[in-house]
Every structure is written in structure tokens, then in C-alpha cells.
A and B are shown apart, each in its own frame.
Chain A
Amino acid sequence: MTGHKTPAGPKTPAGHDDQTGRTVHVVGRGVVGRRLHRMLGERAVTVHEPRALDLSAICEGDVVVLALGTAHAPLVPSLLERGAHVVTVGDTLDDVRELLALDGFALRRGTTLVVGAAMAPGLSGLIARHLASQLHVVDEIHIAHHGTAGPACARDHHQSLRGWAPGWHDGEWVDSFCGSGRELCWFPEPIGALDCYRARMASPILLQHSFPGVKRVSARRSARRRDRLTARLPMLSPPHQEGGVGALRVELRGGAADGSRQCVIAGIAELVGTTTAATAAAFATMIIDEGLPIGVVVPGDENLPTTELLRRTTSYGVRLQEFTGIPQPS
């Protein structure tokens, strides 16, 4: 792909890709926005300040990646109205529900709206779809993740441990108390085993959207005792500029063709900001290069080129790993 390589800096000029004539607009200058800009360096990229987003710079067919720390849904209709494809990385429950409701709007405009192209949701859905190909029937999907990207993500993490956490249980939504359901989850090294708890996250909603036939979907996140205790209070200390190495674990349970029960597990251990940027970059470049279905698209949907999306994500340095609970021949 030959395109204008835009210089890094606060004011990035707009440019069009030489081959496709389409630009990737990154809205947000946080950890994910900056890393995404670097990953898409070979393409035409424009970085926008969220508070001063100039819609006139966005043309029909362009791809807009919303890497915001605030709600994405209020911005999306105006972007779709301009004929742009939109990739969102948010995982706030209410925001994701509003984005899913924009399916008809995106369909009428003939554009793609990718909801939740981050680590979880996002890469978790892609991994789940990949693992699903190893099972004859998928009954349960359980994900767990650890770590945060930038300060906005850390604040989301803090808030997600208060209130009620949605979970899909035997065909109906069951709200559980956030911070309950402790489970010791084993992540890839160097993270290892961590206690994870139910939290107010959008992952179960999106996974159930992609896998409507499964009986149970749950999502947990790692937390310390102090996180759970102080979840109802304001953050006691300002969040770090970026969290350390995070991790994701996706577990599918189901049946094999011979009727036996099977459990397959895969995951990653990587900086959350890098993983989110890589997943968003995979979707953005996929839309430009080969296109994706119009309307709302959720990572993990059956009609997506999941393997190619995973391949693109790993090309940015994210290393997928699978869990072998028993010795496996190498």
C-alpha cells in the first residue's frame, strides 16, 4: 500500500491514500489513538482532536476510528451521514447498546459500523470465532481480561466494578452484582493466575450478538480487593498514563462431533493499548482493502473474515497463544 506517511505531531495534515483515495481518520490522541496512528503509518491517516472534530474533512468512503475516552454513540450518526465507515473501540455498556441500535441507520447509508474493536470486546470476539471452528457445537463462552490502556480506560475499569453486570445464562439475561463471581483465571505468561470478577462490561452483549445460539456468556476482569472495596468511591489516586502488560483469556465450552465435551482456550498477554490499536487497525485496513458488510458489524460475527482479521492484528505485534492443559505434541 502506498500512501502519504503523515508526520507524527499535534497537527497532522489530511492526505488521501494513493491507491484507494480513502483516508483513515483517528479521533482521539490518547494511548490508543497515538499507537493507531503509528501502526497505520504507511497509509493516509489524519488524527483529530475530539473536541475540535472537523466533519468537513471526512469524505464518503473514509474510515473513522473513534478512540475516545467518552461515549462514542453521539458522534456516530453524523459520521455515518457523511458516508464514512466507523470503527469504535469503546466498551461502555450503555454506549454499546446505543451503537447497536444504529444498525438500520448504517444500513440505509450503506456504511459499516464496527462496534467494539478493542481488546475485549474486539479481539475477544475474533478469538472466540476462531476457537468456535474447533468445536461442533458451542455452548458457553467465558472471557476474562486484565489491565487497562490509558487513564480513560482505567476510569472505566474503576466504574465497571460497581452496579450490575450482565450475563447470558441459559437463554436469558441475568444481572449479577459487580465484583461477585470470583474465579481464578490463568492468563498467558508473564501474567499468570489472577482472581477475576464479574463487571459491568459490554463483552457479553456483543458476544451473544455474534453467537446467538450459545447458552451461557460471561465476562470477568481482574481486580484487587482494594479495587472492589473502593469501586463506589471516586478514584483515590490519579490513573497511570498507561497500564502495564494486560492479558486476555477466551474460553469456549461445547461438544465435539462425537458428542464428547470439549473446552478450548486461547489468549494473549500484551499492552492493552497496543492490542486495542492493533484490532482497530485490522478492521480499518480491512474496510479499505477488501470491505466489510454494511450495517453494524461486531467482532466475532460469522460473516466476517475472522482469520484474515486475526492475521492483520498479529501483524502489528500481538501474539496469540493457546492453552494446553495437558502435554501436547509439538
Chain B
Amino acid sequence: MKLVRRVLAALTMAGIAAVGIRLGGGGGVPPQHGGWRPLDLPPRNNERE
């Protein structure tokens, strides 16, 4: 019985901690711009090679 009580107490505390982290952890807004765009190679007449 003592063991069951301890397990229940541990689960309750873990649940409270999880709820607290979930509600309190505002990750902010991810970037809404940027990303990938085509890479332009220099024209042949500007080549330095």
C-alpha cells in the first residue's frame, strides 16, 4: 500500500510539473520569412577563373 501511494504521488507530481512546463513554456514565434532561394552563378564574362 505504501508503494502504491508513493507511485501515485510521483505520478501526480510529474503531471503537475509537465502541465506547468507545457503552459509556461512559450517558445515564441518561429521565423516567418527567409528560407531557400535559387542560387545564381556569375555570368561567364565576370568569371575570374
* A binding-site residues for B, Cβ under 8 Å: 130, 188-189, 266-267, 305-308, 310-311, 314, 319-328, 330
Question: Which residues of chain B are near A308, meaning CB under 8 Å?
Answer: 44, 47, 49
Smallest beta-carbon distance B30→chain A, Å? 11
Do B35 and A320 touch (CB < 8 A)?
A: no
Known: A307-B47, A308-B47. A327 touches B33 (CB 8 A): yes
* Closest chain A residue to B46, Cβ basis: A307
**B1-49: which residues lie under 8 A (CB-CB) from chain A?**
31, 33-39, 41-42, 44, 47, 49
Complex Cα distance, B35 from A188, in Å, reads 8
Do B34 and A324 touch (CB < 8 A)?
A: yes
Smallest beta-carbon distance B32→chain A, Å? 9
Question: Which residues of chain B are near A320, meaning CB under 8 Å?
Answer: 38-39, 41
Known: A307-B42, A311-B41. A324 touches B49 (CB 8 A): no
Interface pairs A-B: 7 shortest CB-CB: A320-B39, A327-B33, A322-B39, A321-B36, A188-B36, A305-B49, A324-B34
Question: Which residues of chain B are near A322, meaning CB under 8 Å?
Answer: 36-39
Question: Which residues of chain A are near B42, meaning CB under 8 Å?
Answer: 307
Do B36 and A189 touch (CB < 8 A)?
A: yes
Do A328 and B49 touch (CB < 8 A)?
A: no
Instruction: Please list 5 pairs of residues, one from A and one from B, whose beta carbons are closer than 8 Å in the complex, sorted by A's number.
Output: A189-B35, A307-B47, A314-B41, A324-B34, A325-B31
Do B41 and A321 touch (CB < 8 A)?
A: no
* B binding-site residues for A, Cβ under 8 Å: 31, 33-39, 41-42, 44, 47, 49
Additional pairs, 4, CB under 8 Å, beyond known A307-B47, A311-B41, A321-B37? A305-B47, A320-B39, A322-B37, A324-B37
Smallest beta-carbon distance B14→chain A, Å? 25
Do A330 and B37 touch (CB < 8 A)?
A: yes
Smallest beta-carbon distance A300→chain B, Å? 14
Do B41 and A266 touch (CB < 8 A)?
A: no
Question: Which residues of chain A are near B49, meaning CB under 8 Å?
Answer: 305-308
* Closest chain B residue to A326, Cβ basis: B34
Do A323 and B41 touch (CB < 8 A)?
A: no
Complex Cα distance, B33 from A308, in Å, reads 32
Complex Cα distance, B38 from A321, in Å, reads 4
* Closest chain B residue to A319, Cβ basis: B38
